[in-house]
Amino acid sequence: MSTGPTAEVRPAKRSEVADILDVEAQAARSLPDAARLAAAIDDDGRLVVVASAHGTSGAGSLLGWGKTHFWDHDDGAAPEGHYLGGVTVRPEHRRGGIGTALTQARLDWIWQRAPEAWYVVNASNVASIELHRRWGFVEVARASSFHTTTFDGGVGILMRARRSGPLP
């Protein structure tokens, strides 16, 4: 999938774990565990995607990334199913459609496997809530944690969107 002239979205490669961690560091996000991230890239039951600048490679070429996560059990209001498991875009490349493209790619992947997609978000994260609005995500529940995710400030929202139309 292309996001326009500057970036393309594609599955992550195992060799890009360090570059993904660099995106998180640049965005001042807490760093995922490298081994667990590598395992997610290798796992056919999850999707890790990256947005890379056209015609570039190596350190600093990734503009953003995102992943899905599959929960195989319910946790209160949060059911088993495919979740959008986080998306980050380098601060200097935001508001250019990269977050949208990373999310569309993950939702296309989920829609091929399930009629519903889920995500959890900090209630104060306006950018994320606004980003996901176009796919019709609706609030299902609020809590201090869903599965293993807790929220700075204490309140998270569980969101659900339903596949519409034919399979992508």
Judged by CB, which is closer to ligand COA: 16, or 149?
A: 149
Judged by CB, which is closer to ligand COA: 30, or 44?
A: 30
**Region class of 165: left (phi > 0), else alpha (psi between -120 and 50), else beta:** left
What is the C-alpha to C-alpha distance for residues 165 and 29, in angstroms, rounded to an integer?
A: 35
CB of 110 to ligand COA, least distance (A): 15
Q: Please tell me whether residue 32 binds ligand COA under the rule CB under 6 A.
A: no
Q: Please tell me whether residue 79 binds ligand COA under the rule CB under 6 A.
A: no
Contacts of 38 (CB under 8 A, 6+ apart): 14, 17
Q: Which of 73, 95, 164, 167 binds ligand COA (CB under 6 A)?
A: 95
Listed in sequence order, the DSSP H helices in the chain are 17-26, 34-42, 98-111, 126-132
Q: Please tell me whether residue 131 binds ligand COA under the rule CB under 6 A.
A: yes
Residues near ligand COA (CB under 6 A) are: 27, 86-89, 94-100, 121, 125-128, 130-131
